[in-house]
Amino acid sequence: MAVGLSEPTDLLAIKGVKLATTACGIKKPVDGQPARDDLVLMTFAGHSVCAVTFTQNAFCAAPVSVAKKHLQQTAPRCFLINSGNANAGTGQQGMDDAQQSCRWVAEKLNCDATQVLPFSTGVIGEPLPLENLHAGITQLIPALDASNWLAAAHGIMTTDTIAKAVSEQVVLEGETITLTGIAKGSGMIKPDMATMLCFIATDASIEADLLQQYLSRAVDNSFNNITVDGDTSTNDACMLVATCQSSFSVIAEDPASEQFYQALERVCLTLAQAIIRDGEGATKFVTINIEQARSITEAKTVAYTIAHSPLVKTALFASDPNWGRILAAVGRAGLADLDISTVNIFLGDVCIVRAGAKSHTYTEAQGQAVMNQAEIDIRVELGRGEQCATIWTTDLSHDYISINSDYRS
């Protein structure tokens, strides 16, 4: 059950964007339930510009490789996204299949295959069922509509329990600019770019280089600060498309452009935190703040050491205020010359460690009250600098084990 997360509503259409979804049998059926949508098509108006971030996993999936190649040749006109099959670890056949899917879409839309970007998510190591894919593409074309954002959010889901989507609007010099984004991700989540699939569109008019700068910055402040299990996927992608349908132009030197960026960052933060709130088997939404570090890298190192500790994560699941596990994680994070006498650790507003030892004001009842909450803040003051970092993570539950042990069955 997602922590503090509900089904998205009030999603806004983006001028110049149409979407369609269908169920073509890529996702395995669930007994007693109707077929789930597993193929999504997004199309964009001419002159749209695109910004991208991709997984840094060396075993990147075939669709990632094909998308990168196509982006080097031309601006995209559409995205084809399938869920239930990652088309990763599939060798040359996977590359051929991804390219074939692009050709089929191009034939239907009367465009070049290089203007189609493929995306896949699901089980690694299995070939795409091309016949299903071809039939699905045929069904998608007549269903394209500007209002299908929520359906698309459902269509890209795998182990997600709830759709993740959000819209933002900002008024710039009298012109209303709209952004809408969808994301999927629940497990195999550890930032090394973006660790999930995310698709954001805006009607803003903006140059491609500035759009890329904004996306990279927003990803660093959002998706690159989340982790469920420390695993970076083979298929990750975060795509931002500007259809340039607005009469207002976002220009770097214009102070109004920062307002557009802040709206984009809010979209990314909302989607990134939604992924954590819906982490596989998650019962806790955990914010880890590291303060007084020598560098942001150092702060993130400590935060991830805490976030990836199985002992910390299982204590969170059990609502057990076993603060020694947090202290031990800080100590093994590998910081050079760490003076433990400068370290303070807090659960919420409760100080559990002061100057490297148990706080004389701490009581077990105080810690228990914090750990009983569904949303928990862990804060560490290192006392060695002025830099800070925030990471969002989950607990580790029995359901996480069950979901991943049963994933292919």
The answer to whether the CB of 286 falls within 8 A of the CB of 273 is no
Which are the contacts of 68, defined by CB distance < 8 A and separation ≥ 6?
A: 54
Instruction: Give the angle subtended at the CA of 395 by the CAs of 348 and 156, to the nearest 5°.
Output: 120
The answer to whether the CB of 309 falls within 8 A of the CB of 329 is yes
SS3 329: helix
The answer to whether the CB of 44 falls within 8 A of the CB of 16 is yes
SS3 33: coil
Strands 17-22 and 375-381: unpaired
By annotation, the residues acting in catalysis are: 195
CA–CA gap between residue 220 and residue 147 (Å, rounded): 30
CA–CA gap between residue 381 and residue 261 (Å, rounded): 30
SS3 165: strand
The answer to whether the CB of 244 falls within 8 A of the CB of 49 is yes
CA–CA gap between residue 136 and residue 25 (Å, rounded): 9
Cα–Cα nearest to 221, from 188, 265, 255? 265
For 272: left if phi > 0, alpha if psi spans -120 to 50, otherwise beta; the answer is alpha
Which are the contacts of 145, defined by CB distance < 8 A and separation ≥ 6?
A: 18, 19, 20
CA–CA gap between residue 8 and residue 355 (Å, rounded): 44
